[in-house]
Structure 1
Amino acid sequence: MTDVDRARALRRRHVHERQAVIFGVLLAGLAVAGLGATAVFTGSVDLPFIARGFSTPPPEPEPEAGYCPPAGALPVAYGQVTVNVLNGTSQAGLAGATASGLTERGFAVASSTNAEDPYSGAARISFGLTNAAAAFTLAAHLEEVDMVPAAREDGVIDLTLGADYIALKPVEQVLLDPALPLVGAEGCRPLDEATPAAETPAPQG
């Protein structure tokens, strides 16, 4: 064998060795990838670089629609609805201004003062179950309101104004017909399922 033939043979051997190494690495990589994919698919291994934030978030819970008015209850004449207006914010004069607005609409305002505790919502109506029709009549004048049945028998309704409160609903948007029963929000819960909360007397001012 000449020197040229030996050089060619050596070069071919080097090429074959490189090809063998490359194919070996590729096959090993494919084998590792296959094993990893199988482990992830079966849940045996979690990929640390996949953040949970990229997964589909759980659906937001539907907000509760609150309680329904008593079945068949008609709106109560405004003059028969007695209200304490409480300011649950740091905005001075909010209770007084709202009380004046309710008085102009014919409601009987017993007092307007500051609430004992701040309230973060828009408005909250606390009422006794026997006075529910009057409470829902008042609620029709508010854009957003939480209805809170309370263990009270005095016939007075507490209206607490919160941080999200803006103003009474415009009169033309108050959809009350004295001849038609009060209607609750879609999905509301029957009032007889409510557990009245213990009532704290409204502060006097």
Structure 2
Amino acid sequence: MSDRTPDAARQRRRRHTRERQAVVFGVLVGGLAVSAFGAAAVYTGSWTPPFLARDFSSPEPTGLAAANSPCPPEGATPVPYGEVALTVLNSTNRVGLAGDTASALLQRGFSIAAEGNAREAGYESYAGSALIQFGTQGVAQAYTVAAQFDTPQLVLDDREDASVDVVVGSSYSALVAAADVVLAADQPFAVPEGCIALDQVTPAPRPVPPPATEPPAEEAPPAEG
């Protein structure tokens, strides 16, 4: 009967409480010990947890997204801006983008031959920053222009003159800051990684404007009679 007295019940509760506390403290101490061991292993380099082993960094852009991007000719140097004839084309739905880009290039001294809509000039929509298209006579001019854009795509086509087309895409926001343009008049272009020797590139066909759509002919009025 003594085990059923109030005092005995209180003692049992205290004993159970102490046992639970001992278990909780034991778990906490064990967890802290495991954490300390793991931290020491990571710190010393003897163990790398899986979430740290993953590489979250993005690959560095090459700046040459096309398979037929030609390397600059050996020893080629930048062309004076005023000697580069540019056609600036807008391949997006942003009204006035070609004009704004042409104005920005004009302020830097480039010669703007024309500006307009990319589709009307035979180009498709472009999702990158800037597509720079040119012929074998305009490689140095194209590289001079490419330095003004962030990660442009360079494409060689079969045109025979030194003109350069700039197709502004949906990723374009602004020209590279003039102070960040890495060009020196007396220093050859750096050869970018991933480019192909000029004589090994097969030129793409130069875009051709689609034929103009003629308005439907008006029906002749019925003859009287």
Q: Which TM bucket (shorter chain)? A: 0.5 to 0.7
Match in the other structure for 1:88: 91
Write the mapping of 1:1-205 to structure 2, written as runs, cut at 5 A. Answer: 65=64, 66-116=69-119, 117-201=124-208
| Partner Cα distance (2:161, 2:71) in 1 | 21
| Partner Cα distance (1:95, 1:202) in 2 | 17
Task: Mark the CA change 1:63 to 1:166 in structure 2 (over 3 Å): closer, same or farther.
Answer: closer
| Partner Cα distance (2:105, 2:146) in 1 | 12
Compute the displacement of 1:188 (Å): 2.5
Q: How many residues align?
A: 145
Match in the other structure for 1:3: none
Compute the displacement of 1:76 (Å): 0.4
Q: Secondary structure at the match of 2:105?
A: helix
| Partner Cα distance (2:194, 2:125) in 1 | 29
The normalised TM-score by structure 1 is 0.65
| Partner Cα distance (1:63, 1:166) in 2 | 17
What is the identity, as a one-letter code, of the residue corresponding to 2:98? A
| Partner Cα distance (1:164, 1:191) in 2 | 28
| Partner Cα distance (2:60, 2:182) in 1 | 25
What are structure 2's unaligned runs of at least 5 residues? 1-58, 211-225
Please say which of residues 70-79 and 185-194 is displaced more in the overlay. Answer: 185-194
What is the identity, as a one-letter code, of the residue corresponding to 1:108? S
Identity of aligned residues (%): 44
Compute the displacement of 1:62 (Å): 9.4
Query: Contact (CA 8 Å) 1:158, 1:202: kept in 2 or not?
Result: no
Compute the displacement of 1:189 (Å): 2.1
What are structure 1's unaligned runs of at least 5 residues? 1-60
What is the identity, as a one-letter code, of the residue corresponding to 1:199? R
Compute the displacement of 1:144 (Å): 1.3
Match in the other structure for 2:217: none
What's the C-alpha RMSD, in Å, of the aligned pairs? 2.2
Query: Contact (CA 8 Å) 1:86, 1:161: kept in 2 or not?
Result: yes
Task: Mark the CA change 1:123 to 1:186 in structure 2 (over 3 Å): closer, same or farther.
Answer: same
